[in-house]
Structure 1
């Protein structure tokens, strides 16, 4: 379980393509400092399991084909900048919201509108998960806990917008993301549980 508060910007330093998976080596000195084999670290919002720790600055993780297909991790290459977060401790503050690290779908950045003190980012919202997203609700974008500032529909389909403060722009990869870039999306798990209960009602 995570909180969606990015601890560190990391970098993909190696990517080994295997027959049905890939092994990533990710540099992130902070999140690696107390990591060990089997620990969970979210990479762009995807919960990955540490296989090995390299020089106390990097870790390796295996990513299966399903994860590569369902998330934007398959598009990562050496040099890609990624958001990193260690699993939450039970005695820590919940600064964001409950995040599982299980990506529900991918969107793409449709536009960026800068303002004096923040920036509005519009993201395409895939139809299968659009019903779970509400204005002023929580959504995770590339592992970042954000508040939905508005919802809408245009010629390409549903979209949502988030308003990013300077800290988010500086300390996460959304500050570098370009129009057209894919992003991992995880909706608030509570919405999915409520729907399930109603269907079985």
Structure 2
């Protein structure tokens, strides 16, 4: 085993370990979201009679009826910013809504991978002037799929934060998909670019 190949195997091993840790974090995130959704479903409705709230310029009067708000005092820790004077409220996306939208966008992006990833993979090789064994294609494809859920959720949170709201609009969907398509293209290009030279030339 020559030194260059040994270094390549070592780097690949470290890369796989890094991706395994990242996958574990994403699985933990999905589990936490599922637990939060289950907790919300079990939460009893809140009965509200005539209540008057006055927070400086914000005034809500005479709330009557049964509300499933999903906000208990312990949930207030999740509020990043609440400024009445600026008339802006920045709160996290409700877990159930975030999970549902993440699944929808992940499905759309998986379809994109099936239809476009091979062309992206071959196009990157053409741009780099290299030829790489096709076994790397499945490796890249599987690795991207493992990261999709976490990346989608992160982008949804960021877009919601920038628009100062908890509603996920169709326009936000399109923006997140476009951002992730660009990330996929850049990721494939950089992965191939940083392969050892003997691999780039198609030698085993």
User: TM-score band, normalised by the shorter chain?
Assistant: under 0.3
TM-score, scaled to structure 1: 0.23
Q: Which has the bigger relative contact order, CA under 8 A and spacing at least 6?
A: 1
Larger gyration radius, structure 1 or structure 2: 2
TM-score, scaled to structure 2: 0.23
